[in-house]
Amino acid sequence: MSNTGMSMRGKIIFYEDRNFMGRSYECMNDCSDMTSYLSRCHSCRVESGCFMVYDRANYMGNQYFMRRGEYSDYMSMMGMRDCIRSCRMIPMYRGSYRMRIYERENFGGMMHELMDDCDNIMDRYRMNDCMSCHVMDGHWLMYEQPHYRGRMMYMRPGEYRSFRDMGYSGMRWMSMRRIMDSCY
């Protein structure tokens, strides 16, 4: 059987304990609540693709971007306080990237359109806040600090009218990066 079709899909394996020990759960798409498969999760192996993992069920809480590789104890590596509870596969995308960022909620205030990475919205656009956005094309990561640092948020195509209503009250998003197909 040919495995050429498999390279286009993501695959991640979660393990209960550090160093890939204990029970495991193999995932090839989104999983909104892993607690029915594993009571805890302390290590994982991304065999193909890219995933966002979340420390709360239903894609909530702190988010972490994972590409192909082994994470033998990701909680200490990434400073996670909690186990992974849900994950989302980032689909492969080869096309243009376009996102509009807005200074205020509900697409208000200053607006700028991005088609490439932006390491600092304050330096590039003189924007000191980004409270809503509209992703037209591609998949993006938004970061709390300039130069792609701090907490992150995965943005797929759609309208995001209020980051505060999404549970990110008090957070500022200061840099944005395209998720390219390099992780496949």
Q: Where are the domains of the chain?
A: 5-90, 98-183
The set of residues, in sequence order, having a beta carbon less than 8 Å from that of 126 and lying 6+ positions away, is: none
Decide if 5-90 and 98-183 have a common fold.
yes
Residue 110 identity? M
Question: Tens digits of per-residue pLDDT, 106-155?
Answer: 999 999 999 999 999 999 999 989 999 999 999 999 999 999 999 999 99
Is domain 98-183 in CATH 3.40.50.970, yes or no? Answer: no
What is the 8-class DSSP label of residue 4? T
In this predicted structure, what is the pLDDT of residue 4? 37
pTM for this structure? 0.86
Each residue's pLDDT tens digit in the chain (184 positions)? 333 333 467 999 999 999 999 999 999 999 999 998 998 888 999 999 999 999 889 998 889 999 999 998 876 666 666 788 999 999 988 899 999 999 999 999 999 999 999 999 999 999 989 999 999 999 999 999 999 999 999 999 999 999 998 888 888 899 999 998 666 5
Angle at 28 between CA 73 and CA 149, to 5 degrees: 45
Domain at 5-90, CATH homologous superfamily: Crystallins (2.60.20.10)
Query: Which amino acid type is present at position 160?
Result: Y
pLDDT at 42: 86
Contact at 8 Å (CB) between 64 and 80?
yes
Q: Are 110 and 101 in contact (CB under 8 A)?
A: no
Rounded alpha-carbon distances, angstroms, from residue 145 to 48, 72, 83, 175: 28, 27, 24, 6
d(CA 168, CA 73): 26
β-pair partners for 48? 11
CA distance 183 to 27: 17
CA angle 124, 99, 105 (to 5 degrees): 85
